[in-house]
Amino acid sequence: MKKKMKKVNAAILIIGNEILSGRTKDKNISFISNWLNLKCGIEVKEVRIIPDVEKIIIQSIRQVSKKFNYVFTTGGIGPTHDDITAKSIAKAFKLKYKFHPEAYKILESYYGKVNFNDGRKKMAKMPSKAKLIYNPSSAAPGFVTNNVFSLPGVPSILDSMIDNCKIYLKKGSRIHSKTLNLYTVESNISKNLEEVQKKFKKHVEIGSYPFFRLGKIGVSIVSRSTSIDELSKVNKYLIKIAKNKKIKILKIKLR
């Protein structure tokens, strides 16, 4: 069983011209972030959306792999000419780009020798020594290179295989959150929030997010921490502030 670390972080690289052009709407950032936080206790600290350009992929991989415990990439591991993620990651880590024997067998078995064309064979090429992330939906595996996890861009396929990343991860402490919804404007409580954040800055992160609901303006105050006790203390302070200011409280959510 892998050792649990208290604080573990990650970055996400969304790779694809189709995302940057607006042709395709990304659905993977939210899904991966929630999965890492809720299932693995890993906090996403940075997200980048980059094009299918080898130089940019190599540069980004080198930067974020040094900065964070883990990096998750999506997109660019398919059969077409613009699927260059695997080759770029190999270059980023100065590894050979070649057929992975097991990946090749999996795909050959899935498609059959007659239909196993060059495009499909390309999906078995990846950095040398890469470890496979098995794919129960369409067979083509993702892969792990050092601390970089490479997954497909298609959300339904990514969703089906992400749990297979767990065996390669060191889990951290789960990050809990509480949401306090208030019918007020941010400027009315900004000074109070700053004071509460300073008091609990060691253990709790506080954010405020405006909303418009049923014709009324409000603010969602989200507190995040690995400690449920610290969250409870913060929430008591926030509720006290709201009551003193005679602000209507909607609902408290704990995740």
Question: What would the pLDDT profile of 155-213 be if each residue is shown by its tens digit?
Answer: 999 999 999 999 999 988 888 889 999 999 999 999 999 999 999 988 899 999 999 88
Alpha-carbon Rg for the chain in angstroms: 22
pLDDT category, 214, cuts 50, 70, 90?
confident
pLDDT band at 253 (very low <50, low <70, confident <90, very high): low
Mean pLDDT taken over the chain: 93
pLDDT at 223: 93
Report all structural domains of the chain as residue ranges with CATH numbers, in order of start. 8-168 (3.40.980.10), 176-254 (3.30.70.600)
State how far the alpha carbon of 243 is from the alpha carbons of 55, 213, 239, in Å.
55, 21, 6
Which residue in 196, 201, 218, 200 sits closest to 209, CA to CA?
A: 218
* Whether the predicted pLDDT of 72 surpasses 90: yes
CA atoms within 13 A on the CB side of 113: 0
Model confidence at 77: pLDDT above 90: yes
Q: Flag the least confident range among 30-44, 79-93, 131-145, 211-225.
A: 211-225
Cβ-Cβ contacts under 8 Å for 176 (sequence gap 6 or more): 224, 225, 226, 227, 228, 231, 254, 255
Residue 43 CA to residue 138 CA, distance in Å, equals 29
**What six digits make up the tokens of 153?**
């861009």
- Assess whether pLDDT exceeds 60 at residue 3: no
Residues of the chain with pLDDT > 70, as a percent, come to: 96
| Per-residue pLDDT, 4 | 47
pTM above 0.75, yes or no: yes
Q: Which two tokens stand for residue 147?
A: 């601390």
Answer yes or no: is pLDDT of 40 > 90.
Answer: yes
Q: Look at residue 1 in the predicted model and tell me its pLDDT.
A: 39
Confidence bin at 255 (pLDDT 50/70/90): low
- Looking at the predicted structure, is the pLDDT value of residue 2 above 50? no
